[in-house]
Amino acid sequence: MGNTIEQIRKVELGTGGPLVGAQGFGSMGISAAYGQTDDAAARDTLEATVEAGVTLIDTADMYGVGANEEFLAPFVAAHRDEITLATKFGIEYRADDPGYRAIRNDPGYIKTAVEASLRRLNVEVIDLYYMHRRDPGIPLAESVGAMAELVREGKVRHLGLSEVTGAELREAHAVHPIAAVQTEWSLFSRDVERSVVGVAAELGVAFVPYSPLGRGFLTGSFADADKELSGSDFRKLLPRYTGDNAKANTALLAPLHKIAAGHGATTAQIALAWVQQRAEVHGLTVVPIPGTRKRSRLLENAGATRITLSADELAVLEPIAGQVAGERYADMSLTSAARESQA
């Protein structure tokens, strides 16, 4: 089967970073956030990543409170030399206390977290280790210094940050080279363009957009989370996708449908092509990590790497983000956008 699928091109994940497929895979939905998963279908989808050349596999210790890392472990063992494995620390949940959540960046916690991830993933080294969220109460130099120690110990190969401002990225990079920044970036979410994208380009840091499909909304697969998604789907809690906001934002998809028809593509592929072309616009490596639990969607997403939007098409899509109704989270306090607005 592998010989029948066209593999996507490879790019360097940051200056001196590993070569990865130009599109990665976000695995969160396999274990958390989007309702029930068919394990067999999810494992088949993981196999399709390798067949398509989608080699950056992204997880986090908080997804399913460790269950996502454990689910990935057999796949990682079977394809260790073919993939670049990324995971994250920093958002602490506890299986025995569903209401507990804490942001932890202290060095002692980082050392404990990496050992737990290594054990769950059943690997000796993590290729890319992200700080998932920033705790401003812990000096950034202390946190990144502890992460750098993991590199020296051979437990981690490259460091990443998630939801940081441009100033925070610059400060962290001065302590130890940062390979990648991961933050939401899509036709609906462009706050990262205020500062961190420019700093990443200047420093040679790759950008890894999460939720490049607006958590599925940009696919046109649902129009109102209140009515169409299961009770366990956390998108029901996101302001953009419920009530009057959902109606207003659905109307914004009209240009995507028109452009998609012109390319013989899906709206998801056009949304991903837009994200991918940010690399040319801003002069940096961009590797989006859409997630799915279906092989067919994985291959569809990968096909977006072969679509180039014209200047006229990009111009039509340009205003969309500024017209989106609602924030990307009900509580924006942990985002880089919130800290930038306070600066």
Determine contact, residues 292/298, Cβ cutoff 8 Å. yes
Residues 6+ apart with CB under 8 A from 13: 19, 20, 56, 84, 128, 158, 179, 180, 206, 208, 285, 287
The Cα 140–Cα 298 span in angstroms is: 36
For residue 282, how far is the Cα from the chain centroid?
Answer: 18
63 is catalytic: yes
Beta pairing, strands 126-131 & 19-21: unpaired
| 172 beta partners | none
Residue 112 amino acid letter: T
| Closest residue by Cα to residue 293 from 336, 242, 224, 233 | 233
The Cα 33–Cα 36 span in angstroms is: 9
| 130 beta partners | 88, 160
For the chain, count helices (H), then strands (E). 16, 11
Determine contact, residues 101/93, Cβ cutoff 8 Å. yes
Catalytic pick among 63, 109, 129, 210: 63
Active-site residues: which are they? 63
